[in-house]
């Protein structure tokens, strides 16, 4: 009777391992890819002077041990950097014209020439 229990236990164990091993393998692939990405990202931060080189390994370890730390890092960086003027309106005032800057340069020798009063443009 005892050997029957052992055989049943072994079958259940084998079924469990067969079911869970692909999940463990997938997690290990994710963990390896995440750690590689963490090394690359921290390397870029070190290159830009945002993270001290002496603290790079600690940061990679922290990110690798808890992927949520990556979002905390992104949040901190966003707060440090702040808004910029990319995509903002230009402060340059341009006179209304039917000529583009290249045409103005060719005709008047100046890309900012005002051709609205010359009579050369319709």
Which residue in this structure is represented by tokens 């340069």?
A: 105
Give the per-residue pLDDT at 10.
93
Q: Is the pLDDT of residue 92 over 70?
A: no
Q: What digits encode the pLDDT tens for the residues 10-55?
A: 999 999 999 999 999 999 999 999 999 999 999 999 998 888 999 9
Residue 33 lies in a domain: yes
Give the per-residue pLDDT at 122.
47
Residue 11 lies in a domain: yes
The alpha carbon torsion through 86, 89, 91, 97 (nearest 10 deg) reads: 130
Please give the residue range of the domain that contains residue 25.
Answer: 2-65
pLDDT > 90: what percent of the chain?
A: 47
Residue 96 lies in a domain: no
pLDDT > 70: what percent of the chain?
A: 81
Q: Is the pLDDT of residue 76 over 80?
A: yes
Residue 106 lies in a domain: no
Mean pLDDT taken over the chain: 84
Residue 52 lies in a domain: yes
Which residue in this structure is represented by tokens 């992927």?
A: 67
Contact 110, 104 (CB under 8 A): yes
Domain count of the chain?
1
From CA 92, how far away is CA 55, in angstroms rounded?
44
Residue 60 lies in a domain: yes
Mean per-residue pLDDT, 80-101: 69
Burial code of 93-116, b = ≥16 C-beta within 10 A, e = fewer?
Answer: eeeeeebeeeebeeeeeeeebebe
Q: Is the pLDDT of residue 93 over 70?
A: no
């Amino acid at each position: 009777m005892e050997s029957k229990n052992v055989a049943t236990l072994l079958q259940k164990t084998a079924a469990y391992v067969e079911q869970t091993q692909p999940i463990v393998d997938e997690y290990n692939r994710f963990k390896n890819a995440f750690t590689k990405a963490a090394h690359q990202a921290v390397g870029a931060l070190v290159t830009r002077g945002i993270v001290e080189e002496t603290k790079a390994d600690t940061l990679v370890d922290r990110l690798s041990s808890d992927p949520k730390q990556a979002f905390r890092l992104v949040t901190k960086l966003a707060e440090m950097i702040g808004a910029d003027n990319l995509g903002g309106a230009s402060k340059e005032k341009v006179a209304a014209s039917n000529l583009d800057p290249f045409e103005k340069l060719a005709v008047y020798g100046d890309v900012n020439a005002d051709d609205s009063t010359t009579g050369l443009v319709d």
